[in-house]
Structure 1
Amino acid sequence: MDAPKRRAPRQTKTEDGTAQRVVRRRPRDRRAQIAAASAEAFGLSGYHGVSMEDIASRLDISSTALYRHYPSKYALFREETLRLSTLGVETVRIPDELAGAPAERRLDYVIDTMIAQCLANRRSAALLRWQSRYLEPEDNRVLSGQLVRIHTVVRDLLVEFRPELAGSERAVLAAATLSVVGSVSDHHVSVPARALTTLLGSAAHAVIGADLPGLDAEAETPGATEIPLTFKHELLLKRAIELFHEHGYPQVSVEDIAHAAGLPASSAVYRFYRSKGDILAAAFRRAAERVSAAIGPAIAASDGPEQALTTLIELYVRGSFAERALTFVYYAEISNVPPEDRTVLRNIQRLNVEEWAKLVGGIRPELSAAEARVLVHAALALVVDLGRWHGADNPICTPARVIRLMQVILIGRPAAV
């Protein structure tokens, strides 16, 4: 537990120059302010990257005052994470006046309310998306149950709205719809609220109306290339990514990485990487370069923006399926990358998104540049979200289905053959 620190009373001076203590009254909504500030901090810097003093500083109070409301950082983290998930459950609850309405109208209501809540909690929702893995087991079970309830509501509405769908198709489309709506917390692209609401709603409805390829239409997906044991730096990176994916970066030590790579001691790791942070930065560079390296050749070999974008989508999905752990780590652990590397990586990511967005704009000129970027973020996040929800080896979430969903989000329909 972080040790409480006292903050000196704030003072002003009277007209004759003597010090006068200023008594600050405690706001009535202090607890709500603390919850909002902590959620934003956890979403931005990660659970392990935030202290009680950091949160207190955001509110301009002492950590002692913070401890009056919450006994520990975990108590704050737990309360805000479960508050957000509980809010999600409330959001998809159909009101009595719509109980007998057609399935399409109820589905519209659920999508609209989910979008409204995600926008209202945009700065803190990243906590729920990427940091909830640090909940203690019992709290994690509560969270998982709530997320399943949210998914079940959307899936059951699809049973009524599109009865022709197979159960696996409804499960994938429900998860994809939630991903599109939730992706708005992964970025800071600025679009007016009304336009952003319309854009996310259109993308969600495009996903709901998508026709997915059959499970027998899937071509074999290449697996990750086996790394020769002589390439120790590559093996170290591969094993580290697997550990970061399974346990979370803060929970993994250099000793763990050395053991997983078959090295005799942690000191052997430093022959290849300067630190654990350097390994994470190398993983991020690998993920970013995989995306950027495909852009130039795809554009050069295409007859127009739709063909180029279709090629990029397929390359991205195939690469992500071959390296699922890397794709997840890229989204979940950015707050743990050393600051000097984080700036460089953020710039590479922005450039990659910008190139994708230019292609989207070439296909859909009615979209602004910012709106195209929002859709690119939604499509890219879809890959990792579906992998998280359905699991790495779930046969219903195939690359061909993910490719089709990315197409309907970015192009607005399946790509022309």
Structure 2
Amino acid sequence: MDAPKRRARPATQADDAAPQRVVRRRPRDRRAQIAAASAEAFGAQGYHGVSMEDIASRLDISSTALYRHYPSKYALFREEALRLSAASEDSVRLPDHLADAPPAPRLEHTLDAVIATSIANRRSAALLRWQSRYLQPEDYRTLIDQLVRAYRVLNALLAEVRPDLDGADRAVLSTATLSAIGSIADHHVAMPVRTLATLLRSACLAVLHSDLPEVGAPPETPAAVEIPLTFKHELLLERAIELFHERGYPNVSVEDIAAAAGLPASSAVYRFYRSKGHLLAAAFRRAADRVSAAIGPAIGAAAGPEQALNTLIELYVRGSFGERELTFVYYAEISNVPPEDRTVLRNIQRLNVEEWAKLVVGVRPELSAAEARVLVHAALALVVDIGRWLGAESPICSQPRVIRLMQVILFGRETTV
């Protein structure tokens, strides 16, 4: 006799709730995911502020799994930094069909390609802008060589389009253009890719076709103001910023700062500041408050938004030229400020940018608030980029020239107000 057939048991809710064994498969692009996550982390928190465990947690994997792909944090850092610089160089290579095109279309194609590459790598590009100095010397030279080759292509195309320019003016305009594009790594203003690309293209073309003030005699270097030894808190701020600019924040100890300020021991620093990070925050807060304090009087005394914005540009350039090291350190080391202070500083910066952006929209009502904020960030970044790439004391980077370039970016044209 055949065995009786077992009647199928109807499915129940309990069966649906039974745990299923989940098989986790390793993504085929795991290495690319690791590189992208690490670059974003390095850009946001600084190379020294990120551990392999931090990167692993972003990807929800173990640090052991991470080490299967990369032997060290530096290997990750190096690979992504050089990938970004290589992408910059690749972006300026003209396709064959444009080899014999007139200069203007070749320049515009190159500009579009650089912008597209920068937008595609926006979330990780802060690594390239502010953290690349922590590469080992040989790797840093490779990175700089790639960036310089990209710059030279743009500079050469500009020479063809505008043969009236001399070498100094071409250098300034090319550097300002690349600064405007790269500035999108410094903020998180959100907008559609096509809108952002169009906005950057318009700003860059305005820069490339602008005329700069004549190069005058090198400005006289103002005599250094000696801080009285009794003002130890001021002396500590100044010496600390000098050291952070020269060596990088992670490579400066409290003992180094104490010695530079003439204090007998590091313990003396703690009478004025709770930590090295709080000292950095105090310097940044002072600079942020200076920018904030200028806004109200400039608007109140102006006949309109263009005049107010011109006043703010001049005040900002003057203040930044007087504190060049602090301006650079702010961009490069903001991630090292204690979180609670960093939140305050970011809020002050956001409010300052919003006030500037309102004035920009007052002059250019066709722009959205977001577009105006992007342009404000580009104009502010220009001040530090021009000096650090072309030489802070070079006469071709004078205040009148930087002011003119900020005006062109914000107004979309030159202004005489």
**Alignment TM class, shorter chain as reference:** over 0.9
Residues 309-388 of structure 1 aligned to structure 2 (within 5 Å): 309-388=309-388
**Which residue matches 1:265?**
265
Give the whole-Å Cα distance in 2 for the aligned partners of 1:103 and 1:17. Answer: 67
Q: Secondary structure at 1:215's aligned position in 2?
A: coil
Residue number in structure 2 paired with 1:400? 400
Larger radius of gyration: 2
Contact residue 242 and residue 325 of structure 2 kept, 8 A? yes
Give per-residue Cα distances to partners, 1:369-399, cap 9 Å, x unaligned: 1110000000000011111111222222111
Q: Once the 2 structures are TM-superposed, how far is the Cα of residue 21 of structure 1 from its aligned partner?
A: 5.6
TM-score computed with the length of structure 2 as normaliser: 0.94
Pick closer, same or farther for the CA change 1:219–1:17 going to 2, 3 Å: closer
- Seen in structure 2, the aligned counterparts of structure 1 residues 224 and 44 have a Cα distance that, compared at 3 Å, is farther
Q: Distance in 1 between matches of 2:357 and 2:266?
A: 43
SS at 1:295 equivalent = helix
Equivalence for 1:156 = 156
Check 1:38–1:83 CA distance in 2 against 1; reply closer, same or farther (3 A cut). same
Q: Secondary structure at the match of 2:128?
A: helix
Letter in 1 for 2:66: L
Q: Is the 8 A contact 2:38 2:77 kept in 1?
A: yes
**Residue identity matched to 1:101:** A
Match of 1:410 in 2: 410
Instruction: Quote the Cα distance in structure 1 between the aligned partners of 2:226 and 2:155.
Output: 38
Give unmatched runs, 5+ long, in structure 1.
1-13
With normalisation by structure 1, the TM-score equals 0.94
User: Which residue does the alignment assign to 2:6?
Assistant: none
**Maintained 8 Å contact 1:287/1:330:** no
Alignment partners' CA distance in 1, 2:16 and 2:362: 68
Q: State how many pairs are aligned.
A: 404
Tell me which residue corresponds to 1:281: 281
Look up the match of 1:10.
none
Deviation for aligned residue 1:247: 1.1
Question: What letter is aligned with 1:62?
Answer: S
Superposition pairs for residues 152-301 of structure 1, below 5 Å? Answer: 152-216=152-216, 225-301=225-301
Cα deviation, 1:30-49, whole Å, max 9, x if unaligned, reads 11111111111111111111
Partner residue in 1 for 2:127: 127
Q: Does 2:88 match 1:88?
A: yes
* Deviates most, 227-236 or 250-259: 227-236
Q: What is residue 140 of structure 1 aligned with on the other side?
A: 140
CA RMSD of aligned residues (A): 1.7
User: 1:15-94, aligned counterparts within 5 Å?
Assistant: 22-94=22-94
Aligned-partner Cα distance in 2 for 1:225–1:305: 35
Letter in 1 for 2:251: Q
**CA deviation map 1:44-81 (0-9, x unaligned):** 11111111111111111111110000000000000000
Alignment partners' CA distance in 2, 1:223 and 1:130:
30
Query: How far has the Cα of 1:118 moved from its partner?
Result: 1.0
Cα distance in 2 for partners of 1:118, 1:16 equals 48
Match of 1:108 in 2: 108
The offset of 1:195, in angstroms, is 1.3
Task: For 1:294 and 1:186, locate their aligned partners in 2 and report how far apart those are by CA, in whole Å.
Answer: 23
Deviation digits for residues 198-237 of structure 1, max 9, x if unmatched?
1100000011011001112776575764422321110100
Kept after mapping to 2: 8 A contact 1:218/1:399: no
For 1:322 and 1:262, the matched residues in 2 are separated by: 23
The answer to whether the Cα contact below 8 Å between 2:42 and 2:50 also exists between their aligned partners in 1 is yes
User: Take 2:239 and 2:340, find their aligned partners in 1: how far apart are those partners?
Assistant: 24
- Would the aligned equivalents of 1:218 and 1:400 in 2 still touch at CA under 8 Å? no
Cα separation, partners in 2 of 1:289 and 1:353, compared to 1, 3 Å: same
CA shift, 1:265, in A, is: 0.8
Alpha-carbon distance in 2 for matches of 1:395, 1:148: 21
AA at the equivalent of 2:296: G
Letter paired with 2:115:
I
Per-residue CA shift, 1:275-310, capped at 9, x if unaligned? 101101011102211211111111111111111110
Deviates most, 183-192 or 373-382: 183-192
> Against the structure 1 CA distance between its residues 416 and 17, is the aligned structure 2 distance closer, same or farther, given a 3 Å change threshold?
closer
Q: Which moved more, 1:407-416 or 1:18-27?
A: 18-27
After TM superposition, which residue ranges in structure 1, 4 or more long, deviate above 6 angstroms? 16-20
Question: In the aligned structure 2, how far is the partner of 1:147 from the partner of 1:16?
Answer: 58
Residues 217 and 395, structure 2, Cα contact 8 Å, conserved in 1? no
Give the 3 Å change call, closer, same or farther, for CA 393–218 of structure 1 in structure 2: closer
Mark the CA change 1:299 to 1:68 in structure 2 (over 3 Å): closer, same or farther.
same
Cα offset for 1:403? 0.4
